[in-house]
Amino acid sequence: MRICLVKLWALLVSLCVAGGAFAQHPMTLDDLFKLSVVNHTAVSPDGEWIAAVIIRPVTPGEMYGRTYYEADVTRADVWLISTRTGERRNLTQGARDASGFWCATWSPDGQRLAMLSTKPAGKEPRGGDNIRLHVWEKSSGAIKRLSSRAMMTQTMGGSSLYRVDLRNQFNQAHNAGRCSDEENAPFVWIDDTSLLAVALPQGNVSGLLDAYSRSLKHAFATLKSLEQGDQPTVSSVESAGAESAAPLNVSLLRINARNARSDEIASVPVFPLDGDLQMVVAPDAKSAALLATIRATAPGGGEKFSYPFGSWAVDKQLGFVDLIAGSSVRWAPLPATGKYLLDLLSWSNDGSAVAVRARPKISTLSLTMFVASARDLSIKRVSPEALSMAAAASGADIPDTSSVIWADTGGLIAKAVRADEELSPLEWWIRQVRSRSVPRADWWLLRDDAEPINLTSKMAHVPASLHRVASNGRLVGVADDALWTLDATSGEATRLASAPLPQGAEVVWAGPQRSAAFELLIAGKGKDGVRPWVRAQIQGDTATVTPIELPNPTARFESYDAARTRLLFKDQAPTGTFLWATNAAGTDARKLLSINEHMADVAMGETRLIEYRGIDGQSLQAGVILPPDYVPGRKYPMLMWVYAGATVRGFDSDFFNAYYAGMYNMRLYAAKGYVVMMPSMPLAPDGGKNDDYIDLPKGAMPAVDKLIELGIADPDRLAVMGQSYGGYSTYSLVTYTNRFKAAIAMAGITELVSLYGQFDPTARGYGGIEHQKSANWGLLEHGQVSMGVPPWEDLWHYLRNSPLYFVDRVQTPLLMIHGEQDIRGPMSQAEEFFYALYRQGKRAKLLRYWGEDHGLRQSPANVRSVVDEIVAWLDTNLATQNK
């Protein structure tokens, strides 16, 4: 019934718009700057309240330049919303002093909300000078600062710093460790009144504030030193044979939320760059296991990294610590077969041991499972050499305790592949995203005193995740669009009789394990981001499956309150952003929050999906956005948004999202009268020795031909634009063809040999380890670019994939846009290409945004400038008047 009403309302709106009752206007950047963003939601333990973190719109008087503007949580507030009455109020009122409050996390009893904040106190400047831990008391309604120490917050977007993964494994309902999709909390509730938090040394600034300001502050300090002439301005890094720079020593704090008393538990080493700190509180909440990164792994000795990123390129220590003041970490000695630890997984149910994954050499891709004893610090291998413990997710980036399950009868249940079939994490992800085949990963029962047992060998397909049913000790999962239970002792798999599950079903939520009837929320694959949902209740060997009616087709699941069978959905609809609460069937949906309703006044162009064939003959699709006033039969100027490797299957890409940020919202350009198209540009799988420069036109140019054939695009008014690897795609395409009359390359790379060793511009100020922040060499050898080897081993491969060496072919007027602090490719990449065009007397323009990052959207003024420059370049070179 509700869906019918929604469709009826949409029809009425469209009729009213057509009849002139509602005046709509083409999208502008100001429409996007007015947006509020729901960053995170947390439901209180009693189900009564939702703590919603909402980022404020772009307005004068706020603080910018800390991270990309639309996701800057230092401009957020925490709102309380009643699930019963709909009452809502802004708890934090941060706009008064340009402060932010986020990462709202309920205490287990629901009487307090812990949160991070930049709120200034005393003589601290407007907007704050650091990130500290605060708490809201339900009884008094007051917010107080719990510690003056800076919290170890991680950066967001790209090369993250200070990654942290803190989990209270046996109180997961309200301690999931997540602030948002991109940030983990540097604190966790131990009990109703105590928090475990990670603080930086005195005088250090939290990563979220420091990531892009550190190098600018260092430059200012350099100027002062030069003026005074009494201090050298040198920085030093060393290579083979040198001692690694000492890591930071961060503090583990136990904080009493009642009286703000802070006790230091222990000091722990943390390497701030590629490493991470993982901690899991033990079942009795009296101790914790931790995995601390101490240094970057030194290459050399003839060995090459099997995977040169993040947790795979650092040395770690495993330890245990009691959660009382004045403790010291008990470090476990590592066996030779587990010298390079990867991640900390979970505690055994009795609190005697933890599971970890590791490998013996940096060149080893296959992962081994170990069990480490908290009592005597011994470490035992439990997986055989023939198996590798599937590497798809690892470290603090993706905290996941469900990847390992401790069996009630002893041993571990974990996913594994054949050791000779293991893939790198990037390759796992690439193949899954592009719907390519991946090795079969079965669930195994592993014990150090017995042969491993394959629990899923008889199943046609393997469940992506397993969950333990407390009432009978069995495991439940989804495979072949059906529910299965597994006996962890015998390995017997049983398909449960139930209503059919939606196609492409996967478990989104599971538990709580204490319920008599175990529950799962399951979502199907769907189309264009609209996924069918069901609720499964399992009791014994029977299952009841009930469809969940979404409050709106565009709604996205946020959380589930199982005790009260209430679901929370976030919905970015054409008419605004909403939070909905529904019962388990979705039949009594109530709108709890409405923001961004000004978007109802924005005219959105029609979207179309077109079919075409690539140069190699494969069937491909491209997404198209038409101008809001599109007239069939008229030929329009076309702007093609490119990104090598992209595969378009629908309109769930961010670039088609009406709420997406600034210059990357393709509807902005459709509003200016352009037909915007994003083609599929399939490439060979990343990780091998690829020739992306040669392959990327094969999907792009046939899409242009198809749009011209359909009578939509004017062949004389074609433009191409891309950012990051799309910038590289743009540089490459204009060396291939002169069909485009304008091109815009943002944050792209042009010369792979020099890129290989260039330092990350934001590494300035990290004494002794500046060279270790760069990820370019890893991206070039094994990542997105995939040269396979360093340039000295195959120079011609690097040269033939560098657009700079074909710059003499360029005839297209080219606008280049680059940020000074681009972490993926220094500004010199654009400068080299510009100078080559300048020497040839060809039309080009280079915009260098000082202090800006890879996304070019830290400052709203810069975002406005970039959009204005892009539109002016297109209008000038394409002559957008109708023909």
Q: What is the CATH number of the domain that holds 709?
A: 3.40.50.1820
Q: Is residue 489 situated within a structural domain? A: no
Length of the chain: 883
First to last CA, the chain: 47
Measured at the CA of 262, the angle between CA 258 and CA 263, to 5 degrees, comes to: 130
Q: How many angstroms separate the CA atoms of 800 and 576, rounded? A: 47
Is residue 761 included in any domain, yes or no? yes
Q: 860 in a domain, yes or no? A: yes
Q: Of the candidates 458, 460, 457, 493, which has an alpha carbon nearest to the alpha carbon of residue 477?
A: 493
Domain that holds residue 803: 604-878
Residue 586 lies in a domain: no
- Quote the pLDDT of residue 467: 87
Does a structural domain hold residue 801?
A: yes
Cβ–Cβ contacts within 10 Å for residue 181, how many? 9
Beta bridge partners of 90: 79
Specify if 781 maps to a domain: yes
- Whether the Cβ atoms of residue 816 and residue 870 lie closer than 8 Å to each other: no
Measured CA to CA in angstroms, residue 17 lies from 7, 142, 605, 608, 639 at distances of 15, 46, 13, 21, 27
Sign of CA dihedral 752, 756, 759, 761: positive
Residue 46 to residues 42, 51, 172, 564, Cα–Cα distance (Å): 12, 12, 15, 9
Structure tokens at 255: 């904080």
Query: 568 by DSSP, 3-state: which?
Result: strand
Could you tell me which of 449, 509, 458, 452 has the C-alpha nearest to residue 480?
458
Query: What is the rounded distance in angstroms from the CA atom of residue 101 to the CA atom of residue 73?
Result: 7
Q: What is residue 7's predicted lDDT score, i.e. its pLDDT?
A: 41
3-state SS record for 237-298? CCCCCCCCCCCEEEEEEEEECCCCCEEEEEEEEECCCCCEEEEEECCCCCEEEEEEEEEECC
Cα 639 → chain centroid:
28
Contact 338, 251 (CB under 8 A): no
CA-nearest of 660, 709, 800 to 29 is 660
Question: Strand, helix or coil at 480?
Answer: coil
How far, in Å, CA of 638 to CA of 400, rounded? Answer: 44
At 202, list the tokens.
């005195």
- 3-state SS class at 401: helix
In a domain, 475, yes or no: no
- Sheet with 576-583: strands ordered across: 555-561, 566-573, 576-583, 590-595
663 φ, ψ (degrees, to nearest 5): -70, -10
Nearest Cα neighbor of 431 from 685, 82, 166 is 685
Specify the 3-state DSSP secondary structure of 505: coil
Tell me the β-bridge partners of 509.
Answer: 521
**Angle subtended at Cα 369 by Cα 365 and Cα 375, rounded to the nearest 5 degrees:** 140
Under DSSP, is residue 378 helix (H, G, I), strand (E, B) or coil? Answer: coil
SS3 at position 8: helix
DSSP string, 768-786: TTGGGG--HHHHHHTSSS-
Q: How many CB atoms lie within 10 A of CB 141?
A: 10
Q: Give residue 584's region: left, alpha or beta (phi > 0; psi -120 to 50).
A: alpha
Ranges assigned E (strand) in 665-812: 675-678, 713-723, 742-746
Which of 214, 216, 244 lies closest to 314, judged by CA?
A: 244
Is 480 inside a domain boundary? no
- Number of domains present in the structure of the chain: 1
Look at strands 602-603 and 25-26 and give their pairing.
parallel
The confidence score (pLDDT) of residue 766 equals 86
Give the max Cα distance, the chain. Answer: 81
Bridge partners, residue 641, by sequence? 721
Residue appearing with tokens 């359909």: 710
- Residue spans of the chain under pLDDT 70: 1-22, 157-160, 170-176, 241-244, 275, 393-402, 433-435, 470-472, 512-516, 528, 685-688, 880-883
